[in-house]
Structure 1
Amino acid sequence: MKDKILEKAQQMFLNLGFKSVTMDEIASSLGVSKKTIYKYFKNKTELVAEVTNLMFSSICTGIDSICALKKNPIEEVFDIKRLVMSNLKDEKSSPQYQLQKYYPKIYASISKKQFEIMQVCVIENLNEGIQQGLYRENIDVTFISRIYFSGMMSIKDKELFPLNNYSMNTLMNYYLEYHLRAICTEKGLKQLENQLKQK
């Protein structure tokens, strides 16, 4: 039952937002009483924390699987973007923004973990891209990995980038192109053009 609650809560949080969904609505959509949910989660904050950790683990597992395929680094970046978008349902409800606003402790904890995981992943991608001649040799890998993370977090700020002006998918595509054009060699730019044609 706990897994069913987590699955349904995740679906509803992504579609409607963490703040908007009530425990009553989750119970009702599962056809159970609210008491049943409280048997597994003492309050909504605990449920939100478990759901965000579950989503985070699921995305991390998917990213590890993509990285294990050892594709070229530019293709890898776009594959990871597609995986994240399919998990976050295009972020119509801007879950990260709502998490930050209404559950700041959970947001801070998940952001810290996200930063640690992304640093490893992005640094590996950058080093591999340099080795394959797709990224310029003279880039500062640590700086680029941090600015990449910072930009990824910023495009999810719906006050900076309102979702009625840009879909999250469009923003991610714009940002990846911006990032890669800054670091690619001529050889890398050809690979990037191929990826952009596919999107």
Structure 2
Amino acid sequence: MARVTARRAQLFDQLVALFLDEGFAHLTLDEIASRLHCSKSTLYTVAAGKDDLVRAVTVYFFRAATDAVEEAVAAQVDPLAQVTAYLEAVGDQLSKASHQYMEDLAGSSPGRQVYEKNTSIAADRVRELIVRGVAVGAFREVHASFVADAAATTMVRIQQREVYLATGLDDAQAYRELAGLITTGISATVHR
């Protein structure tokens, strides 16, 4: 069983690397199998078709990214540093994705749904971090739900490629800018 699990994880790692590097819209299942030096039937062990494969690979990518993001947050004690670490780590994880992957993700219903769900989860996590920071006095008294809603709105715009179209910032850069904007706005220290 461990061998099967290890092979499956290796396959997903290869799929994620391929998709993040090149995107996926232009690839057929035959091409993917050829590129990964596996059979098409091996791909069918993880997904019933290309849409399912895109969904499964996107879920796998976001699970690994979430683990890395939460590790970055756990390494911080200060609430402001936690918010910064969270948003910057999201940016770091998204920086692994090529422009083509992000475009393909936006154009793929299964992939977009996974990204939307993860964006919603991330927005909730930002709200949670802000509420906690306000409660312990680390942040100025802000309406945490409003700040989180503003962050969520921006995160959705990032996910939907609207920020890229309006500013030219890729998703990773946009998350880093959002981190700076939010943390400066909620800091208990007045910046002049």
Normalising by structure 1, report the TM-score. Answer: 0.75
In 2, Cα distance between the equivalents of 1:112 and 1:80? 17
Instruction: State whether structure 2 residue 132 is matched by structure 1 residue 128.
Output: yes
Which residue number corresponds to residue 111 of structure 1?
116
Which residue number corresponds to residue 197 of structure 1?
none
Conservation of the 8 A alpha-carbon contact between 1:18 and 1:95: yes
Letter in 2 for 1:136: R
Instruction: State whether structure 2 residue 23 is matched by structure 1 residue 17.
Output: yes
Conservation of the 8 A alpha-carbon contact between 1:92 and 1:168: no
1:148 shift after superposition: 0.6
In 1, Cα distance between the equivalents of 2:115 and 2:164? 21
With over 3 angstroms needed to count, the CA separation of the structure-2 counterparts of 1:94 and 1:125, relative to structure 1, is farther
Q: Which 5+ residue runs of structure 1 have no aligned equivalent? A: 191-199
1:57 shift after superposition: 1.8
1:126 shift after superposition: 0.9
Cα RMSD (Å) of the superposition? 3.0
Conservation of the 8 A alpha-carbon contact between 1:92 and 1:163: no
Paired residues in the alignment total: 186
1:2 shift after superposition: 2.8
1:22 shift after superposition: 3.0
Instruction: Name the stretch that deviates more: 43-52 or 159-168.
Output: 159-168
Instruction: State whether structure 2 residue 141 is matched by structure 1 residue 141.
Output: no
Which residue number corresponds to residue 193 of structure 1?
none
Instruction: State whether structure 2 residue 166 is matched by structure 1 residue 166.
Output: no
Conservation of the 8 A alpha-carbon contact between 1:123 and 1:141: yes
Instruction: Name the stretch that deviates more: 141-150 or 14-23.
Output: 14-23
Q: Any idea what SS the aligned residue of 2:164 has?
A: coil
In 1, Cα distance between the equivalents of 2:129 and 2:170? 26
With over 3 angstroms needed to count, the CA separation of the structure-2 counterparts of 1:157 and 1:113, relative to structure 1, is closer
Percent sequence identity is 21
With over 3 angstroms needed to count, the CA separation of the structure-2 counterparts of 1:86 and 1:163, relative to structure 1, is farther
Q: Any idea what SS the aligned residue of 1:173 has?
A: helix
Conservation of the 8 A alpha-carbon contact between 1:90 and 1:167: no
With over 3 angstroms needed to count, the CA separation of the structure-2 counterparts of 1:164 and 1:70, relative to structure 1, is closer
Normalising by structure 2, report the TM-score. Answer: 0.77
Q: Any idea what SS the aligned residue of 2:81 has?
A: helix
With over 3 angstroms needed to count, the CA separation of the structure-2 counterparts of 1:77 and 1:20, relative to structure 1, is farther
Which of the residues 172, 175, 178 maps onto 1:175? 178
1:31 shift after superposition: 1.8
Conservation of the 8 A alpha-carbon contact between 1:8 and 1:26: no
Which residue number corresponds to residue 106 of structure 2?
100
Q: Which 5+ residue runs of structure 2 have no aligned equivalent? A: 1-6
